[in-house]
Amino acid sequence: MSEPLNVTFLWHMHQPYYRDPIGGEYSLPWVYLHGVKDYYDMAAIVDAVPGTRVVFNLVPSLLEQLSDYAAGTAVDPFLIRGGMAPADMGEEERHFVLEHFFSANRQRMIDPYPRYRQLLALAGDGSPERQERFRHFRDQDILDLQVWFFLAWTGEAARRRYPELQQLVRKGRLFTGEDKSLLFARHREILQEIIPLYRRLHGEGKAELAVSPYFHPILPLLCDMNSAHLAMPKAMLPARCFRHPEDARSQVHNGIDYFREIFGFAPAGMWPSEGAVSDEAAAVIAGSGLAWAASDEGVLARGPIGGLGPGKEALYQPYTFIREGRELALFFRDHALSDLIGFTYSQWDAERAVRDFVGRLQDIRDHVPGSRVVPIILDGENAWEYYADNGYHFLRQLYEALTSTPGLQLATFSDVLSRIPERRVLHHLHPGSWINADFGIWVGHPEENSAWELLAQAREAAVAHNPHAACLLAGDVPADGDESADETARRICASLYAAEGSDWFWWYGDDHFSPSSDRFDELFRRHLMNVYRLLGLDTPPELFIPIKKKSPAGFVREPAALITPIVNGLVTDYFEWLAAGLYDLTKQSSAMHAAETLLHSFYYGFDRRALYFRIDGGVPLDKAMRQNDRLALHLILDREYRLAMDLHSDGGPLQVKKDGEWRDTGAPCRWKIVRVCEAEIPIDAVSPQRGGRMFAYLTLAGDGVERGRWPSAAPMPLTYAGPELELENWLI
């Protein structure tokens, strides 16, 4: 009988460094919220299923923030406003709660709870009149909203651990101040249990704990910015070539040191931030004493092996990277299997999803010769808000199935290395990350390049004006031992290293959209401002100017004139859509960066009678879509409308969402899907406000399963000028 196939899950636990370096406040609450929802749940589920073994990769800057919350020392405006009695709130505090406390996945975290859903409706359900609706909230409504926001962000395993939390869910409404105090008290206990729980899982052999560089930087770009040219030959890089391998070494060593301080032992492995590797970065990791690291299959495929082979046979092997006498074991993630968990299974029944996943692993074991290990690597917190019950049932059933299926065994990466001494050797790595096997998310766009320029400028100032900081940045120890000077130097270095984190650059450019992107921009600039403050220098004026532009990701242009295209699924005339508004859908990714490449462009426009929409794909849509697929256009105005389009018909009724169900409006609409999809909706059917905005998103579903969503984060804002657009753009 052949050896069982090792299946290794690496759950990467990471959040940006939200603590303001000057004021000390947390700009956003996601460490706290993911702590009580995901960081506890993920460990608790592993603990509950006998035989489960996984890898948890913990970023040191996340551990630092979790410790701050667990100690009760974190200053967080969300917690402050959440803890206030509504009667004691001023207008600003009430507005803050009403503006931010619906920040949750609607399908999984709001709609299942009638009172939370009712409060959202009372707030206008995202309509432009929401500000006026806020005036209708009574003190009890505010209190119920405070409780529901934090209760919805409480994990399923955490709720089961504390029956009082389940009682609050059942109570549902008319919460008291005592209820809220109880909720926050249990949250504090959950936060205090997280790090000890991970430490215990490691000690009991249920999990291997790994680490990332301290502030989650892109190591290859720190080592040598020019490595980006090897992955992206045509990229426009910053004028200053950032080349500081000493920073990469410090980020890695500082991360390992803090990990050891928290857990009492040194880690064996590392997930480099964003899976980013290069020859120099891998050598830095190897030189730190770590035994293994991991990246993405795209990096392996574009490297010396020149492809993964039939069935991706080369992917399912451990490798050894050798450079200048240093060795580092390497693993490469199965992109498709990881993305199934991250983006697809959330809309499936848990039993069906588990059966499908286990079947795919069995196919690899049975049909891919020589397979030894299947690495499945993804974020450990971001997917679960899209799953029913925070992924609790899916994960439990998945672990139970994998521990009981003959021929498969859960293993950590250290397990695999002990079981498989023979490994394939790599002397060279393609420089790249787990996204497109390059660095295009973090450098090359004017916004990203501006940020790198400002970072390099601040680092140069630190070296020039503080000898102690210069020594630390060079990897040396200051000679005179002046404690106050050394402390200032350490704080300068900490702000520079924090500004090197990948998160700030993730949100610059057109690749991703977030309602909080301005906060990330501000935090990045404040880290650099702090450097100049500590140096006693004037802050360069450009640091007061936002780097991030306000246009939503992928936005190209607004409508320039009225249009009346022919709805036939073909672009019959060059001028037909020339004046339409346009979004680039390839730039509309969320933080999870779903690999949805079917749809490329979204055009919109109108005349005096109808709204018109055109959707383009990378290939003709009638070839790309399956026979049972439905491409749905969703419009959000005072309510949400849907036009569900298929390949076999030319039109049908517009639907409207009422009481959670879709109902026909009776308004006849036209569409045609051939090379592109073109659609027409009568203006009277939705009655958009002149000079106002609508919001739109697209979904693709087949056989009852949603297979794609564009954008994956927030709907696209569409301007509607009305017939006056023709007058505004009239030229002599």
- pLDDT the model gives residue 517: 85
Q: What percent of the chain has pLDDT over 90?
A: 78
Task: State CA 152 to chain mean position distance.
Answer: 19
Whether 549 is in a domain gets the answer: no
Whether 343 is in a domain gets the answer: yes
pLDDT digits (tens, 9 = 90+) for 529-541: 999 999 999 999 9
Assess whether 705 and 568 both reside in one domain: yes
Integer Cα distance of 525 and 66 in angstroms:
23
In this structure, of 192-196, 367-371, 512-516, 650-654, the range with the lowest mean pLDDT score is 512-516
Q: For the chain, what is the domain count?
A: 4
Own/partner pairs, 290-293, CB within 8 angstroms, 24+ separation: 290/256, 290/328, 291/328, 291/329, 291/414, 291/417, 292/268, 292/328, 292/329, 292/330, 292/331, 292/413, 292/414, 292/417, 293/269, 293/328, 293/329, 293/330, 293/331
- pLDDT the model gives residue 480: 59
Confidence category of residue 729, pLDDT binned at 50, 70, 90: very low
Task: State CA 692 to chain mean position distance.
Answer: 30
Integer Cα distance of 20 and 252 in angstroms:
22
Read out DSSP for 294-321? EEEHHHHHTSTT-S--GGGGGGGS-EEE
- pLDDT the model gives residue 129: 54
CATH code for the domain in which residue 282 is found: 3.20.110.20
Task: Choose between 590 and 543: higher pLDDT.
Answer: 543
pLDDT digits (tens, 9 = 90+) for 633-651: 999 887 889 999 999 999 9
pLDDT digits (tens, 9 = 90+) for 336-355: 999 999 989 998 999 999 99
For 220, 256, 274, 727, the CA distances from 289, given in Å and listed in that order, are: 18, 10, 21, 69
Assess whether 324 and 284 both reside in one domain: yes
Whether 211 is in a domain gets the answer: no
Task: State CA 65 to chain mean position distance.
Answer: 18
Task: Choose between 585 and 522: higher pLDDT.
Answer: 522
Assess whether 502 and 375 both reside in one domain: no
pLDDT surpasses 90 at 691: no
- pLDDT the model gives residue 684: 93
Q: Which residues contact 91 (CB under 8 A, 6 or more apart)?
A: none
pLDDT surpasses 60 at 118: yes
Whether 23 is in a domain gets the answer: no
- pLDDT the model gives residue 539: 94
Counting beta carbons within 10 angstroms of the beta carbon of residue 365, is it exposed (0 to 12), middle (13 to 18) or buried (19 or more)?
A: buried
The CA-based angle 304-309-310, given to 5 degrees, is 180
Assess whether 477 and 523 both reside in one domain: yes
Whether 50 is in a domain gets the answer: yes
- pLDDT the model gives residue 476: 80
Boundary-marking domain end, from 517, 544, 571:
544
pLDDT surpasses 50 at 590: no
Whether 694 is in a domain gets the answer: yes
- pLDDT the model gives residue 453: 97
- pLDDT the model gives residue 589: 52
- pLDDT the model gives residue 131: 61
pLDDT surpasses 90 at 334: yes
Confidence category of residue 412, pLDDT binned at 50, 70, 90: very high
pLDDT surpasses 50 at 607: yes
Assess whether 292 and 420 both reside in one domain: yes
Are 195 and 62 in contact, with CB atoms under 8 Å apart? Answer: no
pLDDT surpasses 90 at 260: yes
Assess whether 170 and 274 both reside in one domain: no
Read out DSSP for 396-437? HHHHHHHHHSTTEEE--HHHHHHH----EEES----B-TTTT
- Strand spans (E) along 529-628: 555-557, 581-584, 599-606, 610-617
pLDDT surpasses 90 at 361: yes
**ω into 711 cis (within 30 of 0):** yes
Assess whether 579 and 629 both reside in one domain: yes
Integer Cα distance of 718 and 587 in angstroms:
16
Task: Choose between 464 and 553: higher pLDDT.
Answer: 464
pLDDT surpasses 60 at 596: no
Task: State CA 249 to chain mean position distance.
Answer: 26
CATH code for the domain in which residue 702 is found: 2.60.40
Residue positions counted in the chain: 732
Question: CB 570: neighbour CB atoms within 10 A?
Answer: 14
- The torsion angles phi and psi of 688, rounded to 5 degrees, stand at -70, 150
pLDDT surpasses 50 at 133: yes
- pLDDT the model gives residue 127: 56
Average pLDDT across the chain, whole number: 92
Are 328 and 280 in contact, with CB atoms under 8 Å apart? Answer: no
Assess whether 223 and 329 both reside in one domain: yes
Assess whether 563 and 533 both reside in one domain: no
Whether 441 is in a domain gets the answer: no
Integer Cα distance of 368 and 317 in angstroms:
11
Instruction: State the residue range of the domain holding 347.
Output: 5-14+216-237+250-260+270-426
Are 322 and 285 in contact, with CB atoms under 8 Å apart? Answer: no
Which amino acid, one-letter code, is at 702? G
Element (H, E) at 497: helix 483-499
Which amino acid, one-letter code, is at 322? I
Integer Cα distance of 44 and 380 in angstroms:
13
Assess whether 155 and 92 both reside in one domain: yes
Most confidently modeled of 39-43, 106-110, 304-308? 39-43
Integer Cα distance of 706 and 344 in angstroms:
8
* Rounded CA Rg of the chain: 26
Confidence category of residue 573, pLDDT binned at 50, 70, 90: confident
pLDDT surpasses 50 at 727: no
Assess whether 654 and 721 both reside in one domain: yes
Indicate the DSSP class of residue 328. Answer: E
Are 588 and 565 in contact, with CB atoms under 8 Å apart? Answer: no
Structure token pair of residue 481: 């031992």
Integer Cα distance of 646 and 401 in angstroms:
37
Integer Cα distance of 693 and 637 in angstroms:
8
Q: Which of 314, 284, 283, 289 is nearest to 299 (CA)?
A: 314
Q: Which of 560, 697, 684, 683 is nearest to 611 (CA)?
A: 683
pLDDT surpasses 80 at 725: no
Whether 244 is in a domain gets the answer: no
pLDDT digits (tens, 9 = 90+) for 421-439: 889 999 999 999 999 999 9
Confidence category of residue 728, pLDDT binned at 50, 70, 90: very low
pLDDT surpasses 60 at 593: no
Assess whether 229 and 366 both reside in one domain: yes
Strand partners, 589: 512
pLDDT surpasses 70 at 478: no
pLDDT digits (tens, 9 = 90+) for 177-206: 999 999 999 999 999 999 999 999 999 999
pLDDT surpasses 80 at 126: no
Q: Which of 37, 39, 70 is nearest to 150 (CA)?
A: 37
Strand partners, 642: 634, 655
- Mapped onto helix, strand or coil, the DSSP state of residue 658 is strand
